[in-house]
Amino acid sequence: MGNVLDLGFGVSYEALRAYQLRGFRNGNWRRLGRMKRIFYRACIAYARIKRVIRNPRVVSLLRDIILELKSTVKVRALNEAIREVDRVIPIYLKAGVFRWAARLIEWLRDESYLIWLGFKKLNTPTLFQV
């Protein structure tokens, strides 16, 4: 399924249906915006008739939607953690935290710590987030 998009040749009807089903199963379909769902359904209807969508612009738009459909909770947690690390590293460098907490650099490179940090960030209500 993943190689179809990497090649850039086009997206088949079967691949679109498979990604849609995956999005249904992992709950990402309902997270898509209304216009993205409408566009995706229109592409499925077109691909059902023509078998493959080859237009590069449409394929690139579909690629973004498919990445959203394939996303898992772990990936969202890692993305959130990376965003948080990018936010705090300049602050810590300026304050000199890495001089007295050298172990923190190792933590910020550890995947399990990043996953924990991402889930912590995802589960913190927006009212209490910085």
- Write down the mean pLDDT value for the chain: 87
Q: 28, 68 in Cβ contact below 8 A?
A: yes
Cα three-residue angle 85-129-74, rounded to 5 degrees: 55
* Token pair belonging to 119: 């889930």
The encoded tokens of residue 5 equal 């998009």
Average of per-residue pLDDT across 6-20: 82
> Which distant-in-sequence residues (6+ apart) come within 8 Å of 52 by Cβ?
9, 10, 11, 12, 13
3-class SS at 28?
coil
For 14-65, the pLDDT digits (tens) are 999 999 999 999 889 998 999 999 999 999 999 999 889 988 899 989 999 9
Q: pTM for this one?
A: 0.64
Rounded CA-CA distance 79/8 in Å is: 25
Q: Where are the domains of the chain?
A: 2-71, 74-128
Q: Return the pLDDT at 65.
A: 93
Instruction: Please report, in angstroms and rounded to a whole number, the separation of the first and last CA atoms in the chain.
Output: 39
Rounded to an integer, the average pLDDT of 60-82 is 89
**Per-residue pLDDT band at 81 (split at 50, 70, 90):** very high
d(CA 107, CA 114): 8
For 53, the 3-state DSSP assignment is strand
pLDDT at 8: 57
